[in-house]
Structure 1
Amino acid sequence: MGHDLNVERDAILAALKPVVHGIAATFGPVCDVVLHDYRHPERSVVAVAGAVTGRTVGGAMSEIGMRVLAGGDEASDELNYVSRTRNGTPVKSSTMVLRDSTGAVFGALCINVDVGAVTQVHDLLGALAGVGAAAPAELPTTTFGNDIDSVVDALVDAHRSRQRGSWAELDRAERVELFGGLDSRGVFAVRGAVEQVAARLGISRASAYNYLSRARAAHDTSTGGSA
């Protein structure tokens, strides 16, 4: 049965490859489209058209993909998600999960549109109409990386920067919260991520597993779920 499902999944991905190029051709250079196979998180990109996020075939999933992977079969589409790339480009993204005939999530089709040019035209028209430009909303930064390690590192740094200092300055509750935040973003769905996070924080692998366990226990207690 597993083999049959993999054949089915391969066929779905193959059928979507021309769709990737068709969507990108329709929208032009302000758009890129990426097809992911989440069976291989570290090299999930199986087709790409366009260059907004700099993805390449064989590249890793983004942090949006990690969230989908963490959601498992309960994952849902994320549509019109506005953020910035790490170089500051404002991007509107949609991630549509791919399911096989059993309902299992195994990949995603992602569309990313550079809305920077649209914003500039909007501001120009506002100026011509005599309407003052509104202050730009602060957008979250989304890491689109071809290297899974860079995506994990960026997420660790982002979560740590929202707290009050280095790992040594955090109390136990804040450390558990940091691991819980990373877990909710899907970081630990990636093979070897616990070891990588431990190295990034300068702690032992055993400590990292301990804090992850505590974070998951706290989440289960708060939601009434089971481990």
Structure 2
Amino acid sequence: MNKNIEKFITIADFLSEVLGPNTEIVLHNLTNYEKSIVHIINGHISNRKIGDSITDLVLEFIENESKGNQQYVCNYNSKNINGKLLYSSTYFIRDENNTIVGALCLNSDYEKVEKSLSFLSSLLPNYVEKKSLKTDIKENLTSNLKELTLNKIDTIINQFEVPANRMTTKEKTEVIQTLNSSGIFNTRGAVQKVAQRLNMSEPSIYRYINKIKKNKTT
């Protein structure tokens, strides 16, 4: 295991003692996207285990922010494979060259706590119900990289109210550009899946990607 990641194992164990059973702590080694989880505590929260895959948020961050200096993302919403809302934070582990090599993630399930607080608050005089927190989902905690890839592809394609076989060149370019920004093309088999969904050939997808990357650097 990368030495930069290995030293975070004891930190993860420490955090688990402090935060308790309602918070999942996950350590990712990003040299292998398909089996990135190398250490996990309270895995019942997301139904994941050691050997499961990277998340879409981490994948997108690597694609777009890896050369920057941002060290962490805090207090965003995520959901597990069953759709339960979680509150998450991610710390990105960088090596001596500032390359992201791992991630330490916290995913908290406060459902029972919120229900208890809501009940207790309702007993107070002049109680005014607070507006619920925004539930924009930034991360999906899946255990399988193939599943993550397919979900991301379908989510983006479904944003267009046009069947794939009726999409214009401009619309297909927008789909591929969005997928490229999400980092999905860094996963194995993504080009093939996108080609199937858009009724295009794999060489055509590569041409689109190369054109997008070329325009991005000019």
TM-score of the superposition, structure 1-length normalised?
0.83
Matched, 1:210 2:204: no
CA distance in 2: counterparts of 1:75 and 1:152, whole angstroms:
27
* Contact 2:46–2:81 (Cα < 8 Å) also in 1: no
Aligned partner of 1:120 in structure 2 is 115
Matched, 1:166 2:166: no
CA distance in 2: counterparts of 1:11 and 1:135, whole angstroms:
41
Aligned partner of 2:74 in structure 1 is 79
CA distance in 1: counterparts of 2:188 and 2:68, whole angstroms:
20
Residue 50 of structure 1: how far off its partner (Å): 0.9
Could you tell me which amino acid in structure 1 is paired with residue 13 of structure 2?
A: H
* Contact 2:35–2:53 (Cα < 8 Å) also in 1: yes
Aligned partner of 2:51 in structure 1 is 58
Could you tell me which amino acid in structure 2 is paired with residue 64 of structure 1?
A: L
* Contact 1:42–1:148 (Cα < 8 Å) also in 2: yes
CA distance in 1: counterparts of 2:102 and 2:178, whole angstroms:
23
* Contact 2:78–2:140 (Cα < 8 Å) also in 1: no
Identity of aligned residues (%): 23
CA distance in 2: counterparts of 1:215 and 1:44, whole angstroms:
28
Change (3 A) 1:161 1:138: farther
- 1:20-99 aligned at under 5 Å gives the runs 20-51=12-43, 52-70=45-63, 71-74=65-68, 76=70, 77-99=72-94
* Contact 2:34–2:53 (Cα < 8 Å) also in 1: yes
Of stretches 34-43 and 66-75 in structure 1, the one that deviates more from structure 2 is 66-75
CA distance in 1: counterparts of 2:134 and 2:98, whole angstroms:
37
Residue 124 of structure 1: how far off its partner (Å): 2.6
Of stretches 42-51 and 81-90 in structure 1, the one that deviates more from structure 2 is 81-90
Residue 62 of structure 1: how far off its partner (Å): 0.5
Residue 134 of structure 1: how far off its partner (Å): 2.8
Residue 112 of structure 1: how far off its partner (Å): 0.9
Q: Report the count of equivalent residues.
A: 213
* Contact 1:85–1:141 (Cα < 8 Å) also in 2: no
CA distance in 1: counterparts of 2:174 and 2:37, whole angstroms:
31
Structure 2, unaligned runs of 5 or more: none
CA distance in 1: counterparts of 2:136 and 2:206, whole angstroms:
32
Residue 58 of structure 1: how far off its partner (Å): 1.1
Please tell me the root mean square deviation across aligned C-alpha atoms, in Å.
2.2
Change (3 A) 1:137 1:104: closer
Residue 135 of structure 1: how far off its partner (Å): 5.2
CA distance in 1: counterparts of 2:108 and 2:157, whole angstroms:
29
Matched, 1:195 2:189: no
